[in-house]
Amino acid sequence: MYQGYLGTIIGQVSSVINVYPIIVKGIESINSVGEIILVNDIENNKGKKKLKDVYGEFSFRNVGFKYKDSTKPILKEFNLNVKKGETVAFVGESGAGKTTLLNLIIGFNKVTSGSIVVDGIDINKIDLRSYREKIAVVPQNTMLFSGSIKDNITYGLSNVSEEKLQKVIEYANLENVIKRMPKGIETIIKERGHNMSGGQKQRIAIARAIIREPNIIILDEATSALDNVSEFMVQKAINNLIKDHTTFIVAHRLSTIKNADHIVVLKGGKCVEEGTYEELVSRKGQFYKDLSTKL
């Protein structure tokens, strides 16, 4: 049911997990496509465990996935244990299963074999609304709405103190950007952020994530569309965002994944290698070979 449009949604809308909004034109009663995902016709949480908090430990146990209309599995026998605060980077060629893993982690798709266990609970037994409130996603293409920089950062939140907002701006590496704006943090962003650079938009997305104090971070090609200077500034903000948070990354740029606790190399839906950057380079296996082609 999900597969046709959720792949598009994850790259554009994640208000479902309180990250960034997109106002739907012509449908005043629905504020975001994310809200459509949460209606009962699409998601059934009845009788499932509501989470008050998420510690951030994951166990992938022989995870397999394939779409209903396909006989070919996207993922096969995937296993990985992730401790709280660790960073996991998924790398591999297009179609290897990277985005599928992110969709499974968020709960957009369900495993067809094996299980994903979050803090000791099978994800299929968790109320996904309560779970997603603890997740922040920073995608490749950030969607901003027409409103002030402040409104774009604090969207959906009330009573955010100035002290907290200033700390978030600092952590997101936005201080100099805001200082250069004609009206500072009250400067109006044009629809879809047309008056902001790619790097500025990504840092606003990171500020949105930080201010919501998530337990789990998803970075989906968050720096891939940026030039080297913008990437450097955004990467500094990302480092602040993911500190002490369980983080899952899909990326092609080495700078984004080099410090990950687990680099998972996927090929044909299977994990062919896993380890730190140093471990994988020393093995001179698939990851080492892929370095020459930028993963």
| Residue 279 DSSP SS3 | helix
* pLDDT tens for each residue of 76-97: 999 999 999 999 999 998 889 9
Q: What local confidence, expressed as pLDDT, does residue 261 receive?
A: 97
Q: What local confidence, expressed as pLDDT, does residue 123 receive?
A: 97
Q: Which residue has the tokens 């968050």?
A: 222
Distances (CA, A) of 167 to 88, 171, 175, 218, 240: 26, 6, 10, 21, 11
Phi and psi of 109, rounded to 5°?
Answer: -125, 160
Q: What local confidence, expressed as pLDDT, does residue 213 receive?
A: 92
Q: What local confidence, expressed as pLDDT, does residue 294 receive?
A: 59
Q: What residues in the chain have per-residue pLDDT under 50?
A: 1-42
Q: What local confidence, expressed as pLDDT, does residue 43 receive?
A: 66
C-alpha 160: how far from its chain's center? 23
Domain encompassing residue 59: 3-291
DSSP symbol at 126: B
Q: Which residues are paired to 91 by β-bridges?
A: 265
Nearest to 35 by CA among 12, 16, 19, 13: 16
Contact assessment for residue 275 and residue 283, using Cβ atoms and an 8 Å cutoff? yes
Q: Which residue has the tokens 């299977």?
A: 270
Instruction: Say how many domains are in the chain.
Output: 1
Q: What local confidence, expressed as pLDDT, does residue 98 receive?
A: 94
Q: What local confidence, expressed as pLDDT, does residue 7 receive?
A: 42
Q: What local confidence, expressed as pLDDT, does residue 104 receive?
A: 95
Q: Which residue has the tokens 């998803």?
A: 218
CB atoms within 10 A of CB 72: 8
| Residue 114 DSSP SS3 | strand
- We report the CATH number of the domain holding residue 159 as 3.40.50.300
